[in-house]
């Protein structure tokens, strides 16, 4: 048993190193000015180069208006917040029904509300583009947020259904018998009890939305950039260990990093947000999840 | 009766927003692509519903056949590898020990960043001028960038598969780990106390219980890989692209009258992944039943 544990620990340390280490050269690259073949470390850093070129370098470039990072960041956050709230709002009543009622065809409804996660996004995306052209909402924020609902609503339904399942209906009934009206029951009983699930659904919706590439790429027609579409362009045109791509990669990773830290912090608090919900759902995006 | 009709109303009203949203934004687009693939696309000057000419053009082309083969290959290899490695890591992590929370933080990190971040990392490390090539040069293993094996942009698809592994080993890991956490250590410990070796305890006690998690996660991983666009576009060979890459190429052809070919492509992608997932689930159910009858 002891020996087994030992091997397990070594495997975990190795895996953690393999997944974390690749970020280190990117951090170095983001501060580099010159990092030519075959140097293993940058030969010139951005602060050494600052006076020598008329153009902003590295982080200076990223934070200058030319890079397009500012609007992409704002778009990502704005679209993410809108998507998260809408998806949660849409999923909430459905989750309550799925957790509370039994009815004929329930399994079919559950399946229908999950299947967008598995159906190829390219198929949904191209069809959606046709639809949105007819509706005149391509290249608009409305179009992009609507597109992002497809990968986010299924997760929100799943997360919220499980949190309604954990909420004993007896609490509500008790509050009602004690004379609370519907609004008060919702406000003082239901809402506080499903808050962790609600927060998880919101965070998760934001995270998925901020990771979606293909749907944004198709619907925005290049007019509205988000962090993933900007990163796509940088990778397409940049060299390996290029400083601006490296910097952008680190910025694009921020929402995920914050999500992970928050969920760990709350898990330590003993609240239910975090581990299980994150575990029971994907990105995908894909996955999509997860993207 | 009154109570029942009240319930029915609550059920319909509750489900309506989510169902309606997905009908409009998910079913609608798929149906639109479907009718266009069968020749109803007046937008592009194609009005010959119901024809299978676009499917014929797509399915009969060498390009499609090559794309199909590569798409399956790029999807399957990472699915198998990440399922095995992710499960093994989860089993290793399920034994409580100091610092495991800290370690799993790093393993969960790839899960929450976009696939494109994985692509950038793979480019930085594995391209011919990348960091690994430089390290090999430093140690005298290679003498120029040309000596480094072509990992990216080749038909071998190693770059694509590395990105998938980077994202998906953590995914399988976290799903299986959560199943293991729900199960608790008691079963395994009981099996060990009763004299089962570590492998037997895993094979006969732990594995059957985590099987649903393994099946779900590998299914989602395969479904994702099969339809992914940006990673094969950025890191794959220029010919043949994967099915999604070829689909979008068809869509972007200047000749609008050929756009239904793109629709045929995406319909084939959808149908194919649907069939694969169905067969996989059926095989799993059968396995489960055979186990139950033992």
* Structure confidence by residue, pLDDT tens digits, A125-163: 999 999 999 999 999 999 999 999 999 999 999 999 988
> Contact A231/B114 with Cβ under 8 angstroms?
yes
Are the beta carbons of A83 and A154 closer than 8 angstroms? no
Could you check whether the bond before residue B43 is cis, i.e. omega within 30 degrees of 0? no
* Residue B96: per-residue pLDDT: 65
Q: How high is the pLDDT of residue B292?
A: 66
Phi, psi of A92 (to 5 degrees): -55, -55
d(CA A54, CA A222): 29
For residue B130, list chain A residues with Cβ-Cβ distance below 8 A.
240-241
Distance from CA of A7 to the nearest CA of B (A): 8
Across A206-232, average pLDDT: 93
Among A residues 232-291, those touching chain B with beta carbons less than 8 Å apart: 232, 234-236, 239-241, 245-246, 249, 252-253, 255-257, 259-260, 264, 275-276, 278-280, 282-291
Residue A69 in this model has a pLDDT that exceeds 50: yes
Phi and psi torsions of A34, nearest 5°: -130, 125
CB A208 within 8 A of CB A285: yes
Tell me the pLDDT tens digit for each residue of B71-109: 999 999 999 999 999 999 988 887 766 677 788 889 889
Task: Please state, in angstroms and rounded to a whole number, the distance separating the CA atoms of residues A123 and B223.
Answer: 13
Domain ranges across chain A: 76-280
Which one has a higher pLDDT value, A199 or A51? A199
Q: What is the pLDDT of residue B28?
A: 94
Does pLDDT of A60 surpass 50?
yes
Q: Exposed, middle or buried, B261 (CB in 10 Å: 0-12/13-18/19+)?
A: buried
Bridge partners, B41 (sequence order): B46
Tell me the shortest Cα–Cα distance from A92 to chain B, in angstroms: 8
Closest residue in A to B259 (Cα) is: A126
User: What is the ipTM, given to two decimal places?
Assistant: 0.88
Measured between CA atoms, the residue of chain B closest to residue A236 is B234
Q: Which of B18, B124, B224 sits opposite A286 (nearest CB)?
A: B224
The answer to whether A59 touches A247, Cβ cutoff 8 Å, is yes
Mean pLDDT over A51-68 rounds to: 83
Q: Consecutive 10-residue runs of chain B (294 residues): their mean pLDDT?
A: 82 95 94 91 82 87 91 94 93 75 86 92 89 88 82 84 94 88 78 82 85 88 91 88 91 88 92 87 83 58
Is the bond into A38 cis (omega within 30 degrees of 0)?
Answer: yes
HEC readout, B62-113: HHHHHHHHHHHHHHHHHHHHHHHHHHHHHHHHHCCCCCHHHHHHHHHHHHHC
The whole-number average pLDDT for the span A222-233 is 93
| CB nearest B125 (choices: A22, A98, A231) | A22
Is residue B173 within 8 A of residue B93, CB to CB? The reply is yes
Residue that wins the pLDDT comparison between B140 and A224: A224
Give A7-52 pLDDT, tens digit per residue: 888 888 899 999 999 999 999 988 988 888 888 888 888 888 787 8
Selecting from B181, B262, B270 the residue whose C-beta is nearest the C-beta of A120 gives B270
Best of B18, B172, B202, B250 to disrupt the A interface (most A CBs within 10 Å) is: B18
Q: How far is A192 from chain B (nearest CA, A)?
A: 20
pLDDT at position A1: 56
Please give the pLDDT value at position B1: 54
Cβ proximity of A287 and B220 under 8 Å: yes
Shortest alpha-carbon distance between residue B14 and chain A (Å): 5
Yes or no, beta carbons of B120 and A249 under 8 Å apart: yes
Residues of A in contact with B90 (CB under 8 A): none
What pLDDT, on a 0 to 100 scale, did the predictor assign at position A273?
39
Q: Count other Cβ atoms within 10 Å, centred on residue A85.
A: 15
H-type alpha helices, chain B: 2-22, 28-37, 53-59, 62-94, 100-108, 115-126, 131-138, 158-183, 186-193, 198-201, 207-227, 230-235, 243-251, 259-292
Query: Which residue in chain B is spatially nearest to A275 when comparing CA positions?
Result: B178
Q: What is the rounded CA–CA span in Å between residue A232 and residue B229? A: 11
Q: What is the dihedral of CA A131, A134, A136, A140, to 10 degrees?
A: 20
The count of other CB atoms within 10 Å of the CB of residue B196 is: 16
Residue A269 pLDDT grade (very low, low, confident, very high; cuts 50, 70, 90): low
Per CB-CB distance under 8 Å, the chain B contacts of A151 are none
- With an 8 Å Cβ cutoff, is A12 touching chain B? yes
d(CA B161, CA B81): 10
User: Roughly what angle, to the nearest 10 degrees, separates helices A106-114 and A69-100?
Assistant: 170
Whole-number average pLDDT of chain B? 87
- For residues A47-66, average pLDDT: 82
Q: Which pair of tokens denotes residue B171?
A: 């995914």
Q: Does domain A76-280 have CATH number 1.10.3720.10?
A: yes
Tokens of A233: 């362009």
Residue A2 pLDDT greater than 70, yes or no: no
Q: Which residues of B touch A245 (CB under 8 A)?
A: 120
A279 has a pLDDT exceeding 70: no
Do A213 and B226 count as a contact with CB atoms less than 8 A apart? no
Q: Whole-angstrom distance between the N-terminal and C-terminal Cα of chain A? A: 38
* DSSP H helical ranges for chain A: 2-20, 23-30, 46-49, 59-63, 69-100, 106-114, 121-135, 141-165, 169-177, 182-184, 191-211, 214-220, 227-237, 243-252, 254-268, 275-280
Structure tokens given for B59: 């399915």
Q: Do B88 and A11 touch (CB under 8 A)?
A: yes
Domains and CATH numbers, chain B: 38-292 (1.10.3720.10)
Residues of B in contact with A229 (CB under 8 A): none
pLDDT at A77 over 50: yes
Answer yes or no: is pLDDT of A290 > 50.
no
Per the omega criterion (within 30 degrees of 0), is the bond before A60 cis?
Answer: no
């Amino acid at each position: 048993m002891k020996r087994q544990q030992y091997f397990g620990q070594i495997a975990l340390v190795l895996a953690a190193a393999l997944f974390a280490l690749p970020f280190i050269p990117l951090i170095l690259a983001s501060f580099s000015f010159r990092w030519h073949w075959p140097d293993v470390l940058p030969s010139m850093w951005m602060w050494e180069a600052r006076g020598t070129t008329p153009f902003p370098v590295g982080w200076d470039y990223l934070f200058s208006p030319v890079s397009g990072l500012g609007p992409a960041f704002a778009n990502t956050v704005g679209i993410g917040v809108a998507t998260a709230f809408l998806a949660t709002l849409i999923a909430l009543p459905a989750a309550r029904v799925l957790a509370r009622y039994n009815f004929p065809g329930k399994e079919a409804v559950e399946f229908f509300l999950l299947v967008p996660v598995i159906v190829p996004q390219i198929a949904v995306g191209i069809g959606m583009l046709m639809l949105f052209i007819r509706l005149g909402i391509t290249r608009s924020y409305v179009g992009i947020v609507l597109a992002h609902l497809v990968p986010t609503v299924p997760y929100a339904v799943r997360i919220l259904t499980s949190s309604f399942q954990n909420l004993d209906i007896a609490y509500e009934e008790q509050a009602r018998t004690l004379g609370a009206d519907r609004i008060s029951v919702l406000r003082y009983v239901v809402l506080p009890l499903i808050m962790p699930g609600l927060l998880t659904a919101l965070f998760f919706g934001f995270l998925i939305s901020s990771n979606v590439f293909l749907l944004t790429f198709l619907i925005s027609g290049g007019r509205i950039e988000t962090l993933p579409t900007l990163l796509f362009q940088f990778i397409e045109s940049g060299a390996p260990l290029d400083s601006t791509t490296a910097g952008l990669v680190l910025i694009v990773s921020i929402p995920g990093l914050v999500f992970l830290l928050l969920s760990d912090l709350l898990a330590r608090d003993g609240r239910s947000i975090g581990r299980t919900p994150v575990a029971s759902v994907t990105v995908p995006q894909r996955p999509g999840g997860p993207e | 009766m009154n109570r029942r009709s009240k319930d029915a109303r609550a059920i319909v009203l509750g489900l309506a927003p989510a169902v309606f949203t997905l009908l409009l934004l998910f079913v609608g687009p798929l149906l639109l692509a479907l009718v266009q693939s069968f020749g109803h696309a007046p937008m592009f000057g194609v009005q010959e519903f119901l024809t299978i000419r676009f499917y014929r053009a797509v399915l009969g082309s060498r390009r499609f056949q090559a794309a199909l083969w590569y798409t399956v290959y790029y999807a399957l290899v990472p699915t198998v590898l990440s399922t095995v490695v992710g499960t093994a890591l989860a089993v290793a992590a399920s034994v409580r020990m100091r610092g495991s929370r800290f370690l799993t933080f790093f393993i969960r990190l790839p899960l929450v960043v976009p696939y494109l971040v994985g692509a950038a990392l793979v480019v930085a490390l594995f391209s011919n001028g990348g960091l690994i090539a430089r390290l090999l040069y430093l140690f005298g293993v290679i003498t120029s960038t040309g000596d480094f094996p072509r990992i990216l942009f080749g038909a071998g698809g190693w770059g694509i598969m590395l990105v998938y592994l980077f994202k998906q080993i953590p995914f399988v890991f976290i799903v299986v780990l959560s199943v293991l956490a729900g199960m608790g250590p008691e079963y395994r410990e009981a099996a060990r106390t009763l004299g089962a070796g570590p492998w037997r305890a895993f094979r006969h006690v732990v594995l059957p219980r985590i099987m649903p998690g393994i099946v779900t996660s590998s299914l989602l991983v395969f479904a994702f890989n099969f339809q992914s666009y940006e990673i094969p576009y950025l890191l794959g060979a220029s010919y043949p692209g994967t099915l999604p890459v070829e689909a979008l190429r068809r869509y972007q052809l200047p000749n609008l009258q050929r756009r239904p070919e793109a629709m045929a492509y995406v319909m084939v992608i959808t149908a194919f992944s649907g069939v694969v997932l169905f067969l996989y689930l059926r095989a799993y159910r059968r396995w489960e039943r055979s186990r139950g009858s033992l």
